[in-house]
Amino acid sequence: MRLILLGPPGAGKGTQAQRLIDRFGIPQISTGDILRAAVREGTELGKTAQSYMQAGKLVPDPVVIGIIEERLRAADCAGGFMLDGFPRTVAQADALGDVLGRMGFDVDHVISIDVPNEELVLRLTGRRACKACGSGYHVQFDPPQVAGKCDRCGGELFQREDDQEETIRARLKVYADQTAPLIAYYRTASVLRSVNGLGTMEEIFGRILGAVQD
Ligand code: AP5
């Protein structure tokens, strides 16, 4: 299965991606995770990406397209993959279509997760992740058993730098201006399904499964 998870910051793409990986055994490719790892490691890619990410802006298309081209050619993508956070612009979607076309593949499903902006702000301001294993939490909606500690490995939880309210609002504007047009783009290609992103994480997972197994 070749799947794209589309949705604004905080819609639950990463949360649902984890469940989809477990169900379908395909790799999750998150450009956000790849870029954050590059920033942590201080690579050239990280140095280029850091200021854009801190400001809630998109990293330039040629940079992320290059990352994805290389990643899709890895052996573990041969049987399918799930893209989380890519594409985010029409230029990225066109480039993805070209790369997949050269590999002889199509996108099977594009799932757009819809959540109102005020809920997104609540989700993102309360999001925490484990420094050691990356597991995700929410201080109110999915709290750890011990505040500030990961249930799975005991690691310290932290808040992403771009999860401050001002940056979140900038990211939501970037989504509306540059990424939301992809909903019409993929609707035209007849692969898009929109799911309601409000409800429990399990309810939303059920809706996504319904959409991909239809
Ligand atoms: P990226 O890492 O892709 O961030 P994003 O798209 O802004 O999405 P998030 O990771 O913030 O949210 P999510 O939808 O995964 O939500 P989550 O599941 O965590 O990108 C970061 C930056 O990198 C960009 O701003 C840009 O600079 C750069 N970048 C990345 N890709 C790029 C690209 N292709 N082109 C250019 N630049 C790029 O859930 C959020 C919270 O809500 C969690 O705490 C979770 O526990 C909670 N939650 C989830 N579901 C529910 C629910 N049903 N009810 C209650 N709470 C819930």
Digit-by-digit pLDDT tens for the chain (214 residues) are: 999 999 999 999 999 999 999 999 999 999 999 999 999 999 999 999 999 999 999 999 999 999 999 999 999 999 999 999 999 999 999 999 999 999 999 999 999 999 999 999 999 999 999 999 999 999 999 999 999 999 999 999 999 999 999 999 999 999 999 999 999 999 988 899 999 999 999 999 999 999 998 7
Written as one letter, the residue type at 75 is A
Cα torsion angle, 22, 25, 26, 27, sign: positive
Ligand 1 in reach of 201 Cβ (< 6 A): yes
pLDDT at 171: 97
Instruction: Output the CA torsion 41→178→209→108 (10° steps).
Output: -90
Are 178 and 170 in contact, with CB atoms under 8 Å apart? no
pLDDT at 39: 95
187 has catalytic annotation? no
pLDDT at 189: 83
Angle at 167 between CA 166 and CA 171, to 5 degrees: 125
Q: How far is the CA of 14 from the centre of ligand 1 (A)?
A: 6
Among 2, 36, 127, 128, which one carries the catalytic annotation? Answer: 127
Which of 188, 178, 150 has its CA nearest to residue 86?
178
By DSSP bridging, strand 127-130 and strand 157-158 are antiparallel
Q: How far is the CA of 10 from the centre of ligand 1 (A)?
A: 5
171 has catalytic annotation? yes
pLDDT at 140: 95
Among 19, 160, 187, 193, which one carries the catalytic annotation? Answer: 160
Nearest ligand 1 atom to alpha carbon 56: 25
Which residue carries 């990961």 as its tokens?
Answer: 150
